[in-house]
Copies of this chain bind each other. A is one copy, B any other.
Amino acid sequence: MQKIPVAILGATGAVGQRFISLLEGHPWFEVAEVVASERSAGSTYKEATNWVLDGYPPTDVTNLIVQTLEDDLTSPVVFSALPSSQAKEAEFALAQRGHVVCTNASAYRMTKDVPILLPEINAAHIELVDIQRKNYGWTTGALVTNSNCTSTPVAMSLAPLRQFRPTHVQVVSMQAVSGAGYPGVPSLDIMDNVIPFIGGEEDKLTKEPAKMLGTFNGDSVTPFDMIVSAACNRVPVLDSHLVNVAVRFAEEVTVDDLLAAWENFRGPDDVANLPSAPERPVEVAYAQDRPQPRRDRMAGNGMSAVVGRVRECHAVDGFQYLALSHNTIRGAAGCSILNAEYLVAKGYVQQQTLPNAQTIRS
């Protein structure tokens, strides 16, 4: 099978590097274009990048010449790790030009005809792409967002519990420093410390999970009917966000009901077979002191949410539990790659239609 060329926007940044790292050896996709700021343009990826992940960038990417957003990209699929400010204009323009854009930026998450896609929990939202194409006259273009990294463990852990009608959800997060990108959080701020504030994050948590858990109604997504409040904290952890979720349900439910719902949850079959889909989207940790960021972040190759310590919570007349997922894999690049795989599987990606598109040699 010939691999599908993909472009990475914001390729030199922390999330861009995670895209490139996860795409190394991907069975369907091949990094063909890397896009960064003017400053890096014309350099090789290796020259332009201060690689902050472990080891070194994959050798087949190091010699790619960095392009800018001004250049005409030819890859049918574009992964975006742009800052939200740049994403607004650039991502729409690329979809307009015919690219399937899978983005980690927040700019379009709450836009009516744009899905926040986590295919195990809201596969039907992919049909918003049809609405987009109708609304804007696109034939091949599409714009699909992944979840905010902190909303991810909240939404993934609540998805199997929708049947019990969660109505009130209080989230307290302990988030990793990689969530702030690079250079991101100064060591002088976070060593031996907690920073109990992350700009804009709490607001996202009050809105995005309800959309993610909502129902595609043929035209848009009806958000799930629940109230979410959040308190977000940065802790001295490198990767993966841990959240404490206190939740009240409208239905009568027991701890065993919740555990069974998580244990039985798998997501649709056509998602479960995708290359980046984890065996279990939600894993239950039974040890009394799990999940832990360092020890559980790579569950399902970083694509699973891990839940644990579910118990009654009288203060909210409900339950509380912990949930965790890897913020730059499941909560960012990995989710967008899974979304792109699902778009391919459902026939939304036509390789041939892009102007100047070249197939990858090899």
- Which of the 9-residue segments A110-118, A177-185, A255-263 touches chain B? A177-185
Q: Which residues of A207-236 have CB atoms within 8 Å of chain B's CB atoms?
A: 227-229, 231, 233, 235-236
CA distance in complex: A227, B297 (Å):
33
Docked-complex contact B188 and A186, CB < 8 angstroms: no
Contact of A229 among B184, B235, B290, B314 (CB under 8 A): B314
CA distance in complex: A316, B320 (Å):
13
CB distance from A243 to the nearest CB of B (A): 10
Docked-complex contact A192 and B194, CB < 8 angstroms: no
Docked-complex contact A294 and B192, CB < 8 angstroms: yes
- A345 contacts chain B at the CB level, 8 A cutoff: no
Docked-complex contact A237 and B193, CB < 8 angstroms: yes
Total number of A residues with any Cβ neighbor in B under 8 Å: 62
Query: Which of A187, A231, A236, A309 has the most chain B CB within a 10 Å cutoff?
Result: A187
Chain B residues near A156 (CB, 8 Å)? none
- A293 contacts chain B at the CB level, 8 A cutoff: yes
Chain B residues near A137 (CB, 8 Å)? none
Digit string of A314-350 for contact with B (CB within 8 Å is 1, else 0)? 1111001010000000000000000000000000000
- A77 contacts chain B at the CB level, 8 A cutoff: no
- Which of the 9-residue segments A3-11, A20-28, A165-173, A272-280 touches chain B? A165-173
CB distance from A277 to the nearest CB of B (A): 19
- A82 contacts chain B at the CB level, 8 A cutoff: no
CB distance from A307 to the nearest CB of B (A): 11
Chain B residues near A187 (CB, 8 Å)? 177, 184-187, 189-191, 236
CA distance in complex: A229, B322 (Å):
14
- A67 contacts chain B at the CB level, 8 A cutoff: no
Query: Which of A185, A188, A293, A299 has the most chain B CB within a 10 Å cutoff?
Result: A188
Docked-complex contact B236 and A316, CB < 8 angstroms: no
Q: A183-B183, A314-B229 are in contact. Are A188 and B194 (CB under 8 A)?
A: no
CA distance in complex: A295, B190 (Å):
11
Docked-complex contact B52 and A189, CB < 8 angstroms: yes
CB distance from A125 to the nearest CB of B (A): 24
Docked-complex contact A229 and B315, CB < 8 angstroms: yes
- A70 contacts chain B at the CB level, 8 A cutoff: no
Query: Which of A52, A236, A313 has the most chain B CB within a 10 Å cutoff?
Result: A236
Chain B residues near A238 (CB, 8 Å)? 188, 191-192
Chain B residues near A197 (CB, 8 Å)? 288-289, 309
- A355 contacts chain B at the CB level, 8 A cutoff: no
A residues engaging B (CB < 8 A)? 14, 52-55, 168-170, 172, 174, 177-178, 182-197, 206, 227-229, 231, 233, 235-238, 242, 244, 246, 288-299, 308-309, 313-317, 320, 322
Can you list 17 pairs linking A and B with CB atoms under 8 Å apart? A52-B186, A52-B189, A54-B294, A168-B314, A170-B246, A185-B188, A187-B187, A187-B236, A192-B236, A196-B244, A196-B290, A196-B291, A197-B309, A233-B242, A235-B235, A235-B236, A236-B237
Q: A52-B186, A187-B191, A195-B292 provided; 14 other pairs, C-beta below 8 A?
A: A52-B189, A55-B296, A168-B315, A177-B188, A183-B189, A185-B188, A187-B190, A193-B294, A194-B242, A196-B291, A229-B313, A229-B320, A231-B309, A315-B316
